[in-house]
């Protein structure tokens, strides 16, 4: 899967403005394809559509983790990190578990980002699959 990176817009956007763009793209994808595809397919389409916005983002971006004297260059990989402000974690699973919410909370804490979107495309209505997770927003 290609790693996208764009830095076109110089307009400062808030986390909420960024999340609106991301949610709109999720609605568009789910309306067109519905549930049932692989997570990697949704991620590729999401990144393709998000690249059209010109807003800076990375997909599968390694986030380092430092524990005492050791540094792990890839403590985790963010599915999508938008403008170093919003993390989007994409899923295509039967049901989200509490650990998925905790995963995004951990990512937010480690990056200092204030907003995460946990999106499960494997739902009948996408509005049921989009969850906002905040870190001191």
Each domain of the chain, given as residue ranges in start order, spans 5-134
Pick the CATH number of 5-134 from 3.40.1350, 3.40.50, 1.10.1660, 3.40.1400: 3.40.1350
The answer to whether 92 and 34 are in contact (CB under 8 A) is: no
Q: What is the pTM of this model?
A: 0.90
- Note the pLDDT of residue 8: 54
The answer to whether residue 129 scores a pLDDT higher than 80 is yes
34-42 — which CB contacts under 8 Å span 24+ positions? 35/92, 35/121, 35/122, 35/123, 35/124, 36/92, 36/122, 37/92, 37/121, 38/92, 39/90, 39/91, 39/92, 39/93, 39/121, 40/1, 41/92, 42/90, 42/92, 42/121
What token pair was written down for 40?
Answer: 């990697």
- Note the pLDDT of residue 5: 57
Mean pLDDT of the chain: 92
- Note the pLDDT of residue 75: 86
More confident call, 8 vs 33: 33
Q: Tens of pLDDT along 34-89?
A: 999 999 999 999 999 999 999 999 999 998 998 999 999 888 899 999 999 999 99
């Amino acid at each position: 899967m290609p790693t996208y990176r764009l830095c076109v817009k110089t307009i400062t956007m808030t986390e909420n403005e960024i999340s609106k763009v991301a949610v709109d793209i999720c609605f568009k994808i789910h309306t067109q394809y519905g549930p049932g595809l692989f997570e990697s397919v949704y991620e590729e389409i999401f990144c393709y559509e998000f690249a059209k916005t010109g807003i800076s983002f990375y997909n599968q971006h390694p986030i380092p983790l430092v524990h005492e004297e050791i540094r792990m260059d890839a403590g985790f990989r963010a599915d999508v990190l938008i403008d170093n402000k919003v993390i989007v974690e994409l899923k295509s699973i039967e049901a989200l578990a509490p650990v998925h919410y905790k995963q995004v909370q951990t990512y937010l804490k480690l990056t200092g980002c204030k907003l995460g979107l946990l999106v499960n495309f494997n739902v009948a209505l996408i509005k049921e699959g989009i969850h906002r997770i905040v870190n001191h927003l």
